[in-house]
Chains A and B, each alone.
Chain A
Amino acid sequence: MTWVRGGGLTTLLFLLPLLFAFGAFSWYPIVRTVIMSLQHTNLVQPATWVGFKNFEQVWHDPLFPIAVKNTAYFAGLALLFGYPVPLVAAVLMSEVRKRRGIYSALAYLPVVIPPVVAVLLWKVFYDASSAGAFNTVLGWIHLGPYPWLQSQQWAMPSLVLESTWANAGATVIIYLAALTSVQTELYEAASVDGAGIVRKVWHITLPQLRGVLLVTMILQIIGTAQVFLEPYLFTSGGPANATLTVLLLIFNYAFGNSLGGDYGAATALSLMLAGFLAVFSLVYLRATRSWSTR
């Protein structure tokens, strides 16, 4: 196909929207981030080169270790709450014989709720007075009232709980799709050999899902490492910086000061986060390679 395989003007015309969108709003900003992280810029005066000063400044910021620790705590808790739940739910749902659609629709419903609504609604639920929605329900069984977002100790778990509610449904759907491709002959063979349901789950279902399981885990870690909306809207990073995350710190560097943003520090920290996630993903993929492609 001669006209098809050319590099002619027509082809370029078709590529124009893509080249413009990605050139202007993806590729160029990525390069620009690297440049800005090495500069001092405030949009008023011309930018000056400062080498790695921005990185040093972020590294020595007393808020930096707090933000890193909080983000790791959020990611860890989210893994603990949020990782096993969708898997168990999906395995149970895949064996539903009638009206399976209702299960998946209910599980996915929170995912379509705008995240701002989800957070602000849960903020109402988390009302710390004894007349708050959650405290009322827990009061029926003589628990609480709990301070939820107002306590340094409970604020982060509260954020993770809402975030798990908002996101778990999407993972359930991924697992359900993956479960349909499990080779069913293996189940039959195992049944013939006398394996029970639990053993079949452990020896057939989970190993067959391991590729998907590994991917959803790393994607969840990458996602939770960039948590922003929950700490921003629930607590603004408080109380006493207990929910200050890396992304919130980046946001505060760039946009938190009405006198002008510290764009150098913001881009430096975002590159540090991206670099960490890249290294982490590589190590993760290497470490799990033998297990995922057996």
Chain B
Amino acid sequence: MTDGEGSTGLISTAEWHKRSVRWGIGGLQALLLAALVVGGLGPILWLAKGAITPTIDTITHPMGLFEHGTAWSNLKEAWSTVHVGLYFWNTVVIAFGSWASQLLVATTGGFALSVLQPRYAKVINALLLTTLFVPAVVLLVPLYIEIVHPPLIHHSLIDSYWAVWLPAGASAFNVVLVKRFFDNLPREIFEAARIDGAGPFRLFRSIVLPMSKPILGVVSIFAVLASWKDFLWPLLVLTNPNEQPLSVRLPSIQAQTSLGVFLAAMFIACLVPIAGFLVFQRSFLRGGGLGGALKG
């Protein structure tokens, strides 16, 4: 996504030199920018402002700006008194486990299906692609019952983080994305490695994985983000409030505390995704386009 000098784009250089075009399109673009700032950034800035504004001011003058000073205590109260700190770490632990499980399944599975290619790879591929077309809701109830009464181990997994981590691994989207990337790696390198005596494990660890950093980065970012955003599944399988992630706790926090502290809690919940987005912007935006390309 480079800022190409779009002389061959929709609007030609000749047209761009016309005053009416420059003012018309430029005006529309300025309008769009204003709309994006107000619409995209506005609510988040409001949340940031509300997080450090006394509750009474936010209630009486929601669009005012620090009329009676600030209340940084909201953040502190949210973090300790309302236990947002605890829920924050729960979210981190859940996200880390889900990330590890997704990466393990996607890399080993992608490697087996793309590089090792057993004869039955086609069958597994077809089964994977089928799951892409099954709406998630179909899985909800049987998955829940499987967690309550797991076969073989006969011990409920409710309130165990494994109940979130393990199902997270079953993401066909990740496997397809990683497999496609492996498909495009140069086969000559695999052949050379084989001649040098490398076995499949060596090939996987020392050649395929190091060459796949870009796609593993994209998968990691989306794995962590998806876990951070998840609500319904952790709500169902983590019933103990002390184990729940932030997103599951937020609706209850709203009922327990003042508006200012609640807004501070929500602001804290946004910090990691926003910071991650700002740091890895390129991967985010490219990954978004990737998703479209795959779906297309």
Contacts and interface: CB of A to CB of B under 8 A. Distances in A.
Interface stretch (B65-73, B75-83, B124-132): B124-132
Contact of A104 (B61, B104, B199, B285): B285
A79 to B, nearest CB: 17
Nearest to B110: A18
B141 A116 contact: no
Interface class of chain B by DSSP: helix
Interface residues of B, number: 110
B32 A109 contact: no
A97 B26 CA distance: 10
Nearest to A132: B62
Given A16-B108, A28-B142, 15 more contacts: A3-B199, A4-B194, A11-B116, A11-B118, A21-B170, A43-B149, A101-B3, A109-B44, A109-B274, A110-B40, A112-B274, A117-B270, A131-B59, A137-B63, A277-B135
Interface of B: 1, 3, 5-6, 8-12, 14-15, 21, 25, 28-29, 32-33, 36-37, 39-41, 43-44, 46-47, 50, 59-63, 101, 104-105, 108-109, 111-113, 115-120, 124, 127-128, 131, 133-146, 148-149, 166-167, 169-170, 172, 175, 190-191, 194, 199-201, 204, 225, 228-229, 231-232, 236, 246-248, 250-251, 254, 259, 263, 266, 269-270, 273-274, 276-277, 281, 284-285, 288-289, 291-293, 295-296
Contacts of B277: 105, 108-109, 112
A158 interface: no
A52 interface: no
Interface of A: 1, 3-8, 10-12, 14-19, 21-22, 24-30, 32-33, 36, 41, 43, 89, 91-117, 120-122, 124-125, 127, 131-133, 136-137, 165, 169-170, 173-178, 180, 182, 184-185, 187-188, 191, 197, 200-201, 204-205, 211-212, 215-216, 219, 222, 226, 228-229, 233, 247, 250-251, 254-255, 261, 263, 266-267, 270-271, 273-274, 277-278
B128 A97 contact: no
Contacts of B21: 197
B229 A177 contact: no
Nearest to A171: B292
A228 B62 CA distance: 28
Given A1-B191, A100-B1, A233 B46 contact: no
Contacts of A113: 44, 270, 273-274
A277 B256 CA distance: 40
Given A106-B41, A120-B254, A114 B270 contact: yes
A117 B250 contact: yes
